[in-house]
Amino acid sequence: MSKHVYSFGGDYTEGDGKMKNILGGKGANLAEMCRTGVPVPPGFTITCQVCNLYFENGNKTPKEVNEQMYAALDKLEETMGKKLGDAANPLLVSVRSGAPFSMPGMMDTILNLGLNDKTVEGMVKKTSNPRFSYDSYRRFIQMFGNVVLDIEKDEFEHLLDAQKKKAKAKVDTDLTADDLKAIIVEYKKLVKKKTGKDFPQEVKAQLEGARDAVFRSWFNDRAKFYRKQNKIADDLGTAVNVQSMVFGNMGDTSATGVGFTRNPATGDNEFYGEFLVNAQGEDVVAGIRTPRAIVQLGDVMPEAYQQLRDITAKLEKHYRDIQDFEFTIEDTKLWMLQTRNGKRTGKAAVKIAVDHCNEGLISKKEAVLRVDPNQLDQLLHPMLDPKALKSLVKLGKGLPASPGAAVGKIVFTADAAVEQATKAPVLLVRKETAPDDIHGMEAAKGILTSRGGMTSHAAVVARGMGTPCVAGAEMVGVDERSKTLTATVDGKKVVLKEGDWLSLDGSTGEIFAGQAQTTEADPSSGELAQFMSWADEFRGNFGVRANADIPRDAKTARKFGAQGIGLCRTEHMFFGEDRLPFVQAMILSENEKDRRKALLKLLPMQRADFAGLFKAMDGFPVVIRTLDPPLHEFVPKREELMVDLAKLPHADAKLKKEMAGRYKMPVGELKKALPALLKRVEELHEFNPMLGHRGCRLGITYPEITEMQARAIFEAAVQVAKKGVKVIPEVMIPLIGSVAELENQKAIVKRVAEEVLEKAGMKKMHYLIGTMIEIPRAALTADKVAQEAEFFSFGTNDLTQTTMGLSRDDYTKFSKDYENRKIFKADPFAVLDQEGVGKLVKLAVDLGRSTRPDLEVGICGEHGGEPSSVEFCYNVGMNYVSCSPFRVPIARLAAAQAALSDGGGEKMRTA
């Protein structure tokens, strides 16, 4: 027979701290504390596996578990010298959850189990404290009624408040024993009314009911949501801990509290927590009474406080981590109810890891493995000051698309963002953004969209810029015509207009009306700088680059530790106000001569762009992708043009002036130019532009575009190299599906490069020409592609779309259903699909290196900054990952952790 129940305390401690998968975190730690001599109330733990058996058995606990549970209860009664249900000397127990991973507050707890109409009178006689006894009984009825019998907590609270009002009691502790007896009568009436049955007096029925209710709480909504957010598996189950009660509500010599051995918000080495005198555990966290700072316990009960300090310090050294503990003092005697590794902020996680290492408690390796890479997000972006949020109105919560805090005045167009940003910080609010909003997105401090997902245009560009962004905030109405933002808060409509203040938290997705205060991040000093230097020691030769399009982003990337640029998207440079007219002129040209004339005007602009990037990177490689999006993205929308053409014959001077500004042309040219523009837009229209005339296909059709960009790249390289700066250009051809496409484009780039470098006397300058692998056929034929490509960079955004047949912009419409039904473990555009897309990636790496063993391989899609995807990239032998500048430290840490648990990637890189 399998063992399902483990005793702890007294002479019967059967488990230890290594058994978290069996006993859950709480049960394992209770057993471990007992073994180290810490005063722990005895009890027993029913294993996590029984939780799964309960659900498999039709929500019934198997008979053999009951047999083992009652055998453990016999041991507990023997240890305590009390019996459950004994009217003269009753044993009372608590029943608590405890999963293998900490899930604070997500599941249910019941205290004072074993009380009934008889045992409560036995407690009165034994303790000579009727108020304490009746208070414990009323608490038990309320908790059992809520957790086991599904009666809303508010219904009990309503009865409690009514009695307090009747007795003129300000707080619970003002109630007398008679008041509490009256509440018990009302509580029992409520139970009878709601369930049709009397409150259960049989203590074994109480125990079995409470145990099963804790199992059921594994699948309550908040527990399911918490597991999803923290990537905890549903099949782990929760253990149930049955523990003899100790009472903090026996009078002024009793207390209860919770605490941390260090500050979990800052990481400072200070005793941190709260307590209440004459209270039970739930009172501290329920907010009914205001708790006191734990250090004040030293004034109230100095001996117990010193013992608590000694024990918790011992526990931190034993577990070698910050401890989150619960305690009760019963008539001056201290009991420890729980300890576990404490949840902490990103700032605290880094500081505690560094301090513990410097104190000799853990090694550098352990310190690097201690911090979740995603937690670094909190340290790298400005954050909203929590104190300032209390005075603001929360409008809702969208998708946390790009982390950090942003506060500014609302604008509804990109042009308005550019115009107003010189006067005050602005937030760009749109239903959704488009590529031609890039100038406004750059000017804005933050971006809010009511549509789109985590990999929408707004999200991707914002992350690249390091601009906070909340996307897909469907609860917010955005009317760009009336320039209003609306939301419903507590049944009332809130309307914000252009110029009103708005605050966004891109790390949580929260949106606030009003002007919040922010705090800035500094990654270059203190514990974070020391911690990241340790991470880089273990990362070895695996590189981390950044996606950056302008020198400002490149400088930010270097500040965060980037070792080059893994993706420069040249199309973003085309949307500048000074460039777009020339881009449009090139598109509207009907022959190569006119196209070249327009491109000639763009050449010095592109050259200056690339020179800025090379200078900022100073000796690190810069991967520049040639033009990728379809040409229609650079011209006005067809529908808008048709509307303006219809209005033009009737337009007054003011409207014509607005149109001329919109289309960047003189008023006198509107009549002739708009029809021609519409004609060209119609010609460029595609039913599926994502798979249409874009990427290398543009360069093959219009080789002069590739030629101009190549010339700008190498002329910039020469210009910067002559100033003594080391330059390493890597030219990337996008969207190839066959080696022939790459061969065509490579020939142009190589011809121009050799011409420019020979003219400058720099023929020995090192450069690479490679390709972006983002179409399955390119991956499947990577051995042939590598005959021409000197490097591969996986564009996993498009590779995910083309492999899975998913539109990343439309997936959000059904993504929650897919993720909730476990069809997808996670959003495949946020976390790399290793089983499908990942298999193609590994195949391409292996095929490519079979042809070219020294092939440089990286990734530049959104997955390059996601920790589990970084680990995958490391393990398949890539040379680097590239991500948005603000995710560079996250990728550095994820790579270090991958190196410390190397799955063979280092061997593949150095083979």
Give the integer Cα–Cα distance in Å for 734 and 696: 6
The residue among 815, 825, 823, 822 whose CA lies nearest residue 866 is 825
Which helix (DSSP H) or strand (DSSP E) does residue 752 occupy? helix 739-760
Give the integer Cα–Cα distance in Å for 365 and 258: 31
158 is catalytic: no
DSSP 475: T
Of 860, 863, 873, 883, the catalytic one is 860
Give the integer Cα–Cα distance in Å for 171 and 774: 65
* Distance between start and end Cα atoms, the chain: 51
| Residue 350: CB atoms within 10 Å | 27
Q: Listing from the earlier edge strand, what are the strands of the sheet with 469-471?
A: 393-397, 510-513, 501-505, 405-411, 426-430, 446-449, 469-471, 399-402
860 is catalytic: yes
Task: Kindly give the pairing relationship between strand 510-513 and strand 393-397.
Answer: antiparallel
Of 356, 381, 457, 572, the catalytic one is 457
Tell me if 623 sits within 8 A of 793, measured CB to CB. yes
Tell me if 240 sits within 8 A of 218, measured CB to CB. no
Give the integer Cα–Cα distance in Å for 679 and 638: 9
Using DSSP, state whether 519 is helix, strand or coil: strand
Using DSSP, state whether 372 is helix, strand or coil: coil
CB burial string 250-262: b at 16+ within 10 A, e below:
bbeebbbbbbbbb
SS3 percent helix, strand, coil of the chain, rounded to 5, is 50, 15, 35
DSSP 650: G
DSSP 145-171: HHHTT---HHHHHHHHHHHHHHHT-SS
Which segments of 196-246 does DSSP mark as H helices, in order? 203-216, 221-230
Tell me if 162 sits within 8 A of 116, measured CB to CB. no
Give the integer Cα–Cα distance in Å for 548 and 451: 25
What does the radius of gyration of the chain's CA atoms come to, in whole angstroms? 33
Give the integer Cα–Cα distance in Å for 27 and 370: 22
Which residues participate in catalysis according to the annotation?
Answer: 457, 860
